A and B are shown apart, each in its own frame.
Chain A
Amino acid sequence: MATETGARLGLEYRDTNGFGAAQGGRGYYLPVDLAVRSDGRIYVLSRGDAIQGGNGIKITDIDHNWFEEISSRGIAPGQFISATAIAFDASDRLFMADEALHRITIFDADHNYESHWGTEGSGEGEFDGPSGIAFDRDGNLLVVDDKNQRIQRYTPDGKYLNSFGSAGDGNGEFSFPWGVTVAPDGVIYIADWRNDRIQRFTHEGKFIDACGTTGHGQGQFNRPANVAVDDDGNIFVADWGNQRVQAFDKDWNFQTSIRGAGELSKWAAEYIDANADEKEARSTFDPYPELDVNDPHEVSARTEPYFWDPVSIALYDDTRILILETGRHRFQVYEKV
């Protein structure tokens, strides 16, 4: 597992999209997930907080166009308290998971609230903190049922089908799993968060293999949050606690690791241009100051270009990957090379 090979996949920084928008409007605040719709529009789940706000699903595209935002904080239908994940079905309906309300909310392709389902509990059809969601190859929804340590499968209208997994650190067991991804070949990838590994399962939920041990070396993880897989089977892991993204080939051979290289986005540059005092002060800004700390979280807190809490990854037209950072309210765009 996680061995090195000759010809490696590379990732080159291309762009940054985002802006800290705690009071709402263009930008994100504490975003936790993103998803790309069939027309290329990018939906960012801005979880926000209970005090400042910034809560909603914000819609942009790869060229920094800003469209609108939907949903907001609350318990009414269509709202959320602690949203964790979003995913589109084949009809571009948008599904959203909420770990506080223990429910899945559905918006139609025009963003109208359609329905929601789910209740708190540990029985069939119940959740204790739904965290990640993804559609399987049959169009059914996989829900990572975080604190119940299992993956549940539902029809899109909320009918329980089956589940797999239980608490533990053995094969097919989980410790507070977070993100789920279904690869183009139908294989299910689970970010087994507190076991510091990624597990793979067949479409039916049978354990295939796992990659990762606790640590900060190549192929090691510190609380991985999410996974993306491209058409060639290359695997991209949001290594949340190590504040980096690691890439592997389909056999888990390590390819590359990136720490982030964020620059001023279009929106950020417009803000700086409009504020003369900050623009002048930023002209001498060294984004990579010499630091006296090693802890990745602390290093990211002090280094603006670096990923800070990289939480989600999405493929964009299979040539680029979008890496969402909760701490910096943005996503960085990397291209496969």
Chain B
Amino acid sequence: MTTAARSGTDIELIAHLLRRAGFGATWEELQAAGDLGYQGTLDLLFNPGDPESMPSDIIRRYHPDQSITQIAPSSGSVWMYRMSTTKTPFEEKIALFWHRIFATGQTKLIQGKVMLTQIEMFRQFGLGSFRDLLVQLSQNPAMILWLDNQDNHKDNINENYGREILELFAMGVGNYSEQDIKECSRAFTGWTIANMPYMSIRMRNNTLRPYGYVAWQYKFDPEDHDEGEKTFLGETGNFNGDDIIDIICKNPATARFIARHLYHHFIADELPVPQWPFEGPKDPGAIELMVDAYFADNYSIGAMLRAVFESEMFKSEATQYARIKSPVELVVGTLRLAGGFDWPTADIFKATAACGFMGQALLAPVSVEGWMGGDDWISTGSMVQRINFASATVGDPTKKGIKSIINQISDRHPRGLVTPKALVDECLELVGSLRVEDDTKEGIVTYAREQGDIDPRTDDGVDKIVSVLQLIVSTREYQLV
């Protein structure tokens, strides 16, 4: 039976939105979203229901290592399960965004439990007020030990966190002084973890002995907090960390800095962050749009993004396919296209490892600056990894998502034979309304012609459909989002 399918500009726009706010949509998901329309789909993104992802008890029982998440492949895989099976991918995209900005790494922290707790915090606070998020971040045990705030004492400050919250997390270079860093650091003295000496030395010694890692608990130590007067960004008072965050958040530089990060992650690839102090944003109008939303709605990240997604700028042709997919976007998007995971499997480790081979090891950013993104994602080696992973994943016709594509093509051609051009057109539609350049399409059609007309009801036909899908996920356009 032929299914009446939605197609056209609306679907392409919704596909664009769901690629940016998620990891792309399957044909079935696009049809459902089409019923809601662009605005309805957008509203749903901001009011998600239950993630309905792989239940944690199931994961923990069949992967005991992913219950205690002692090593990075285990903790990364917990997140990979969530991203590849959730019904609310926008939450994961937001968590991924903050993971790139507030880059924290298990490589130093050793244990994964605290990393996953941080990611959960990003889910909960990532679309809310930036002020609340920064407070949570500053009290997050993983961040505290990542940037050594446990060593930031009232009599001997450690400036690491005080510097990075200004430079990397909230304002950017050029918007504060060295003295501001010292004053900021003083305000965060006493923001530490319970049992700091023992937990700290175990991290340094990289030891799970005697009984595995003990996950860290935030603790404020008033005895070690500097109660003196501080002058920060022109204001003076007996500031605690919360007061410092208030001052940071009301500064226009903060709004512009976060807006530029959002632009880089959700709209189009920007220059690498270290160049930002010297080069203006690609699209000042887009930045101003987000800055206005930030101040109009209590520093709300969600309001900034909603303003973007509702703008004509976001919907324009110029914005579509203007970013290079990050490795995680590519891996998760391809897994979801193929149907995700129904049950715990060792394949999850392959998917998690694939992200690392492509240059974005989950929970293990390359440095405190996170991943630069953009052109940095692409190298000869990473392209081979990308194509191999995507091609292998869609090359399995037993996977639920691939089977669904094959069935859809079969349903549309009850008499069997599908012409090469129709096959390519339908495959491009069924992988989530992917638009490719004319010469790319001609190349795939040429390949399909060599195969001749196909009958999707036969094994040979299935093989040929799968081979066309493999070509599609190997195209330049599939690398873009």
Contacts and interface: CB of A to CB of B under 8 A. Distances in A.
A327 B67 contact: yes
A265 B210 contact: yes
Interface string A251-284: 0000000000010110110011001011001101
Interface string A217-254: 00000010000000000000000010000000000000
Interface stretch (B198-206, B241-249, B253-261, B413-421): B198-206
B208 A272 contact: no
B180 interface: no
A47 B198 contact: no
B113 interface: yes
Contacts of B113: 301
Size class of the contact patch on chain A: 35 or more
A292 B141 CA distance: 12
A50 interface: yes
Contacts of A282: 198
Nearest to B207: A278
A309 B60 contact: yes
Given A193-B61, A277-B205, A19 B217 contact: no
Contact of A291 (B68, B211, B217): B217
Contacts of B70: 22, 52
A176 B59 CA distance: 13
B214 A330 contact: no
Contact of B209 (A19, A47, A49, A291): A19
B285 interface: no
Nearest to A285: B198
Interface string B56-84: 01001110110110110110000000000
Interface in A49-64: 49-52
A309 B68 CA distance: 9
B276 interface: no
A303 B213 CA distance: 10
B212 interface: yes
B217 A20 contact: no
B198 to A, nearest CB: 4
Most chain-A Cβ atoms within 10 A of its Cβ — which of B67, B71, B205? B67
Contacts of B197: 281, 284
Interface string B446-462: 00000000000000000
Contact of A47 (B64, B71, B210, B216): B64
A301 B198 contact: no
A281 B216 contact: no
Contacts of B73: 51
Contacts of B97: none
Contacts of A265: 210
B234 to A, nearest CB: 34
B399 interface: no
Nearest to A223: B57
Contacts of A291: 217
Nearest to A23: B208
A268 B217 CA distance: 23
A175 B397 CA distance: 30
B218 A292 contact: yes
A326 B67 CA distance: 9
A61 B117 CA distance: 37
Given A178-B61, A265-B210, A302 B215 contact: yes
Given A19-B209, A302-B217, A304-B214, 18 more contacts: A20-B212, A30-B65, A51-B71, A51-B73, A82-B62, A99-B62, A176-B61, A223-B57, A262-B211, A265-B210, A281-B197, A284-B195, A289-B195, A290-B194, A298-B117, A303-B214, A309-B67, A309-B68
Interface of A: 18-20, 22, 30, 32, 47, 49-52, 82, 99, 176, 178, 193-194, 223, 241, 262, 264-265, 267-268, 271-272, 275, 277-278, 281-282, 284-286, 289-292, 297-298, 301-304, 308-309, 326-330
23 contacts: A20-B208, A20-B210, A20-B212, A22-B208, A30-B65, A49-B74, A52-B71, A178-B61, A268-B211, A272-B210, A277-B201, A277-B205, A278-B207, A282-B198, A284-B198, A286-B195, A291-B217, A292-B217, A298-B215, A326-B68, A327-B212, A328-B211, A329-B211
